[in-house]
């Protein structure tokens, strides 16, 4: 079993990533490692994720995974983006819902970064388009506050409702990124052992 540190304090993220990795590559696992990392303020999740990966690598000095993502409201030039956590802390879900009333189109986007040395990293992106609904549906998990309000394209249920029925994986932006990582990592590991 190959275990890779996943740097986050968010237990909800860990549960999702672990379940996707277990499904896609049973010989691979993650371990949650909590490190206080400075986070640059940018709407660009790629920039934020890569900066966090470098900071985490400088601390641990070993290969690891970091991710960053957010919800992007199409009617507001993709705001709040990577600032989604700060925005929800500032204006609450009610404020985000007010913004989405005019134009409910939105997307979840994520960058998963694997880093194994200074300047040696790979980025894996995932995206799920859909819309924000005004009334929550499904179970609210405080560490994943947008899920009861987000209906992915191709579904009539929110991500929270889909998770309760086990149908969420095909819509998950995080799963898309994890799948890209697992495929890349498997090829890389196979070529290094041959």
CATH classification at residue 78 = 3.90.950.10
Per-residue pLDDT, 193:
66
What percent of the chain shows pLDDT beyond 90?
Answer: 69
Does residue 6 carry a pLDDT above 80? yes
Per-residue pLDDT, 194:
59
Residue 134 CB: number of other CB atoms within 10 A?
A: 10
Q: Give the mean model confidence (pLDDT) for residues 94-117.
A: 95
Q: Give the mean model confidence (pLDDT) for residues 122-144.
A: 92
70-79, 105-114, 153-162, 177-186: least confidently modelled range: 70-79
Buried residues in 24-63 as b, exposed as e (16+ CB within 10 A): bbeebebebbeeebebeeeeebeebbbbbbbbbbeeeeeb
Does residue 82 carry a pLDDT above 70? yes
When pLDDT is cut at 50, 70 and 90, the band that residue 101 belongs to is very high
Domain hosting 60: range is: 2-193
Per-residue pLDDT, 38:
82
What percent of the chain shows pLDDT beyond 70?
Answer: 99
The number of domains in the chain is: 1
Task: Give the three-state DSSP class for 27.
Answer: coil
Q: Give the mean model confidence (pLDDT) for residues 62-88.
A: 91
Cα dihedral sign for 126, 21, 38, 97?
Answer: positive
At 137, list the tokens: 């549906």
Of residues 113 and 168, more confidently modeled: 113
- What is d(CA 80, CA 194) in angstroms, rounded to the nearest whole number? 45
Residues involved in catalysis: 68
Closest Cα to residue 114, out of 17, 5, 19, 41? Answer: 5
Q: Give the mean model confidence (pLDDT) for residues 75-81.
A: 88
| Mean pLDDT score of the chain | 91
pTM above 0.75, yes or no: yes
């Amino acid at each position: 079993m190959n275990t890779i540190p996943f740097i986050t304090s968010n237990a909800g993220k860990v549960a999702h990533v672990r379940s996707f990795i277990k499904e896609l590559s049973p010989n691979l696992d993650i371990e949650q490692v909590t490190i206080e990392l400075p986070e640059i303020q940018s709407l660009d999740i790629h920039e934020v994720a890569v900066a966090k990966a470098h900071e985490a690598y400088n601390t641990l000095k070993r290969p690891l995974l970091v991710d960053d993502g957010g919800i992007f409201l199409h009617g507001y030039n993709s705001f709040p983006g990577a600032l989604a956590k700060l925005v929800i802390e500032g204006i609450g879900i009610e404020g985000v819902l007010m913004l989405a009333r005019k134009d409910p189109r939105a997307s979840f986007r994520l960058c998963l970064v694997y880093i194994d040395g200074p300047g040696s990293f790979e980025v894996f992106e995932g995206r799920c388009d859909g819309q924000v609904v005004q009334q929550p549906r499904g179970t609210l998990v405080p560490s994943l506050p947008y899920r009861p309000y987000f209906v992915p394209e191709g579904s009539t249920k929110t991500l929270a409702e889909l998770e309760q029925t086990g149908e969420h994986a095909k819509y998950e932006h995080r799963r898309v990124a994890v799948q890209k990582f697992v495929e890349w990592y498997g090829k890389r590991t196979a070529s290094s052992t041959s």
